[in-house]
């Protein structure tokens, strides 16, 4: 089924369904069980259907040592969930005819025309925005990652594209920092600082009042503590979060690949806009075509990849979120956060924890999403075997 067909299905009356909200009442207790099993210190979950919140709960602790309970508006570093926001911002400029997913990206960032592979060969195909956003451009992990705001996005991207390509553009998939390069292109074309563009064109219109790259003093008090599991005691202990500085005056580089902090409610509004084909409360943020284009899985080297432009995608043979249906899409984050969309039923799930190196971190998310599917009466079939 193509994504065009998925969006067409939204208009079919027979697909309307009544979600059994009583079945969502099991979620808080199930998440508390996960907390009791030390799979997380605390969990925030949110479910939306057709733009309306139908479930929102918080269990456990945001900070065990300080005795701070997890709240619905607790702030989380959402890490790579930022990639979907980044892609959506870029698609705003695609809608306006200022960018194109499939033209050479060197049209806007000329330095890309000079990139080479490690052996000195020049790329056979030019790098495109679609490749950058889908990790198929060959932009590898850099030798070092900036740790503070002393380096700009412009300077960092200049370093990234001087690093030899990992492979011929379009020939393979390797998770990396192509989206960061795409974010710099957004700055160049818009003539605005990256974070200012997102605030003006996405966060402001969507009412995402808590979403930011460098949380201010008030928001810092609401950030969930990061936890890891002690290998000897098997207790949750404080873990290192590279995006939380010791002082609000010390800022990090604005990172399009994974720098945002946000809440469940804010991300729910963003995902609900995408689920509705780019519209939120009567405002057109993106065209339906833009949403279709960026959420359609790509291929690399003749093989299908369950990744699109800034979005992980569940296909018939590859599934990132096992409890969610084929054609659904979203993104996870490094510290076990996750946001996922079923576009056919306009269902949104947001799962937020702050775990690093905690065994079974993904289990509560699977339990949560399965409960949502059960409430919706959606049967998720087993994966099909990929063709050799």
Position 145 pLDDT exceeds 70? no
Per-residue tokens: 334: 């490094």
Helix (H) or strand (E) holding 365: helix 363-376
Residue 222 domain-assigned?
yes
| pLDDT tier at 25, thresholds 50, 70, 90 | very high
The per-residue pLDDT for range 64-119, each reduced to its tens digit, is 999 999 999 999 999 999 999 999 999 999 999 999 999 999 999 999 999 999 99
Residue 163 domain-assigned?
no
Residue 97 domain-assigned?
no
Residue 40 domain-assigned?
yes
pLDDT of residue 9: 42
Specify the DSSP class assigned to residue 165: B
Residue in the structure block whose two tokens are 């945001």: 62
Can you say whether residue 327 is alpha, beta or left, with left for phi > 0 and alpha for psi between -120 and 50 degrees?
left
Question: For the domain that residue 53 is a member of, what is the CATH number?
Answer: 3.40.710.10
pLDDT of residue 271: 98
Nearest to 238 by CA among 221, 225, 220: 225
Residue 209 domain-assigned?
yes
- Residue numbers of the domain that contains 241: 3-86+195-376
Percentage of residues in the chain having pLDDT higher than 70: 92
pLDDT of residue 18: 75
Average pLDDT over residues 15-39: 91
pLDDT of residue 384: 74
Average pLDDT over residues 200-227: 98
pLDDT of residue 141: 74
Residue in the structure block whose two tokens are 């998770």: 175
Residue 19 domain-assigned?
yes
pLDDT of residue 7: 43
Query: With a threshold of 0.85, does the pTM exceed it?
Result: yes
Helices (H) and strands (E) in the chain, counts: 12, 15
Distance (Å, whole) CA 64 – CA 237: 9
Average pLDDT over residues 266-272: 98
pLDDT of residue 382: 80
Which residues are CB-contacts of 274 (< 8 A; sequence separation ≥ 6)?
84, 88, 286, 291, 295, 341, 343
| pLDDT tier at 381, thresholds 50, 70, 90 | confident
pLDDT of residue 140: 81
Distance (Å, whole) CA 327 – CA 295: 9
pLDDT of residue 17: 64
pLDDT of residue 383: 77
Phi, psi of 52 (to 5 degrees): -110, 135
The per-residue pLDDT for range 37-52, each reduced to its tens digit, is 999 999 999 999 999 9
pLDDT of residue 356: 95
Residue 118 domain-assigned?
no
Sort strands 347-352 and 261-262 into parallel, antiparallel or unpaired.
Answer: unpaired
Residue 65 domain-assigned?
yes
Nearest to 64 by CA among 225, 242, 180, 258: 225
What is the dihedral sign for C-alpha 113, 119, 121, 124? Answer: negative
What domain count does the chain have?
1
Inter-axis angle of helices 153-160 and 178-190, nearest 10: 130
């Amino acid at each position: 089924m193509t994504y065009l067909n998925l969006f067409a299905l939204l208009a079919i009356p027979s697909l309307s369904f009544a979600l059994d909200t009583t079945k969502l009442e099991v979620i808080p207790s199930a998440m508390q069980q996960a907390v009791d099993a030390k799979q997380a210190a605390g969990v925030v979950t949110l479910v939306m259907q057709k733009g309306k919140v139908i479930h929102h709960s918080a269990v456990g602790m945001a900070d065990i040592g300080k005795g701070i309970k997890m709240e619905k508006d607790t702030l989380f570093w959402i890490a790579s969930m930022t990639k979907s926001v980044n892609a959506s911002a870029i698609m705003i400029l695609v809608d306006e005819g200022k960018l194109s997913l499939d033209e050479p990206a060197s049209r806007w960032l000329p330095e890309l025309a000079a990139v080479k592979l490690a052996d000195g060969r020049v790329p056979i195909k030019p790098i495109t925005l679609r490749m950058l956003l889908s990790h198929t451009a060959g932009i590898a992990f850099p030798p070092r990652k900036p740790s503070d705001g002393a380096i700009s996005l412009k300077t960092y991207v200049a370093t990234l594209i001087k690093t030899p390509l990992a492979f011929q553009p379009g020939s393979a998939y390797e998770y990396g920092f192509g989206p960061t390069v795409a974010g710099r292109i957004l700055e160049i074309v818009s003539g605005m600082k990256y974070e200012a563009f997102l605030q003006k064109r996405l966060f402001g219109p969507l009412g995402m009042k808590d979403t930011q790259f460098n949380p201010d003093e008030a928001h810092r008090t609401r950030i969930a503590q990061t936890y890891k599991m002690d290998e000897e005691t098997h207790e949750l202990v404080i873990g290192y979060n590279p995006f939380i500085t010791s002082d609000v005056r010390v800022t990090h580089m604005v990172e399009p690949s994974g720098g945002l902090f946000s809440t469940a409610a804010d991300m729910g509004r963003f995902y609900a806009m995408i689920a509705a084909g780019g519209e939120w409360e009567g405002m057109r943020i993106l065209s339906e075509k833009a949403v279709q284009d960026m959420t359609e899985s790509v291929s690399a080297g003749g093989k299908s990849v369950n990744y699109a432009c800034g979005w992980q995608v569940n296909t018939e043979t590859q599934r990132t979120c096992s409890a969610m249906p084929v054609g659904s899409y979203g993104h996870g984050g490094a510290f076990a956060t996750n946001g996922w969309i079923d576009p056919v039923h306009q269902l949104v799930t947001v799962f937020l924890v702050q775990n690093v190196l905690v065994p079974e971190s993904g289990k509560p998310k699977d339990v949560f999403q399965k409960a949502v599917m059960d409430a919706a009466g959606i049967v998720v079939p087993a994966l099909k075997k990929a063709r050799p």
